[in-house]
């Protein structure tokens, strides 16, 4: 089945620590992959996207993601987390012509 | 610089009532979609449109209707609201799915 899996429902990190959020996809020879962030009460904002080329993608707010075809993964990383990064993060995968399939999300808590 | 505008932001309905959730974008995007967001389930596609006059069903279309008479507007109609339709609804648009969506800020709907 076409799907995106985010295995971590909730992650807590200390401010200044590094962050990695996991995403695995299971469909597509040429996957189109995205990471979105949702702050409380807000819509989703695009952080970064990948569809070809360099497998390390830079996004906004200091985030990056690495596409690894051998592991079917597209993990999101940030070297040093800020308190304002506390939010919910969604991985998404373009499946077919007309849909983005979203994962179930990972909620990030940042502690001082 | 409006982007995607959704109205209303909050709504409470009684079971069996009907209503229309409004969505408008000013970016001349051809693609528009409606998603619902439920805890632990991520975002699920309800209906989408690839241009004026063209709509199609997503993953969870039952109980919802859409139309696309103009490029700018993509309203979502609940014909007879049910408690299972309690959710947060997001409208999104894009010129091309490989670019990712621009999301509205959402409508929180409660059906009692």
pLDDT for the residue A1:
55
pLDDT tens per residue across span A4-29: 899 999 999 999 999 999 999 886 66
- Closest to B46 measured CA to CA, from B25, B72, B19, B75: B75
Enumerate the residues of chain A whose CB falls inside 8 A of the CB of residue B58. 99
Average pLDDT over residues B83-91: 97
pLDDT tens per residue across span A73-95: 999 999 999 999 999 999 998 87
Two tokens, residue B10: 């909050």
Interface of B with A in 30-89 (CB under 8 A): 31, 33, 35, 40-45, 48, 50, 56, 58-59
Helix (H, G, I), strand (E, B) or coil at B99: helix
Q: Cα separations (Å) of B91 from A55, A70, A94?
A: 30, 34, 17
**Around Cβ A71, how many Cβ atoms within 10 Å?**
10
pLDDT for the residue A100:
85
DSSP states of A39-98: -TTS-EEEEEEESSS-SEEE-GGG-EEEEEGGGTEEEEEESS--GGG-EEEEEEEE-SSS
- Closest to A82 measured CA to CA, from A110, A107, A51: A110
Enumerate the residues of chain B whose CB falls inside 8 A of the CB of residue A102. 35, 42-44
pLDDT tens per residue across span B24-69: 999 999 999 999 999 888 899 999 999 999 999 999 999 999 999 9
**A5 touches A13 (CB < 8 A):** no
- Closest to A76 measured CA to CA, from A28, A13, A29, A27: A13
Q: CA-CA distance, A100 to B100, in Å (whole number)?
A: 8
DSSP states of B29-89: -SEEEEEEEETTTEEEEEEEEEETTEEEE-S--TTEEE--SSSSB--EEESS--GGG-EEE
pLDDT for the residue B1:
64
Average pLDDT over residues A40-49: 91
pLDDT for the residue A42:
86
Closest CB from B50, B56, B98 relative to A94: B98
Placement of tokens 């139309």 in the chain? B67
Q: Which residue of A has its CA nearest to B34?
A: A99
Interface test with A, best of B7, B38, B41, B43 (most A CBs within 10 A): B43
Two tokens, residue B44: 């699920």
pLDDT for the residue B100:
86
Enumerate the residues of chain B whose CB falls inside 8 A of the CB of residue A99. 33, 45, 48, 58-59, 97
**B112 touches B83 (CB < 8 A):** yes
Interface test with A, best of B42, B56, B108 (most A CBs within 10 A): B42
Closest CB from A41, A98, A102 relative to B43: A102
Interface test with A, best of B100, B106, B107 (most A CBs within 10 A): B100
């Amino acid at each position: 089945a076409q799907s995106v899996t985010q295995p971590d429902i909730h992650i807590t990190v200390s401010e200044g620590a590094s962050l990695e959020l996991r995403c695995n996809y299971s469909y597509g020879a040429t996957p189109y992959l995205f990471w979105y962030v949702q702050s409380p009460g807000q819509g989703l904002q695009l952080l970064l996207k990948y569809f070809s080329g360099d497998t390390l993608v830079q996004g906004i707010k200091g985030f990056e993601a690495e596409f690894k075809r051998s592991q079917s993964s597209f993990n999101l990383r940030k070297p040093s987390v800020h308190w304002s990064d506390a939010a919910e993060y969604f991985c998404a995968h373009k499946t077919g012509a007309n849909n983005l399939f979203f994962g179930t999300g990972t909620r990030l808590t940042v502690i001082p | 610089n409006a982007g995607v505008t959704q109205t209303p932001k909050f709504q409470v309905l009684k079971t069996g009532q009907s209503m229309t959730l409004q969505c408008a974008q000013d970016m001349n995007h051809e693609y528009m979609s409606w998603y619902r967001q439920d805890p632990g389930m991520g975002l699920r596609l309800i209906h989408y449109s690839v241009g004026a006059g063209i709509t199609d069903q997503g993953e969870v279309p039952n109980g919802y209707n859409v139309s696309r008479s103009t490029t700018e507007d993509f309203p979502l109609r609940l014909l007879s609201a049910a408690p299972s339709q309690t959710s947060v609804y997001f409208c999104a648009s894009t010129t091309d799915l490989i670019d990712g969506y621009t999301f509205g800020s959402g409508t929180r709907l409660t059906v009692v």
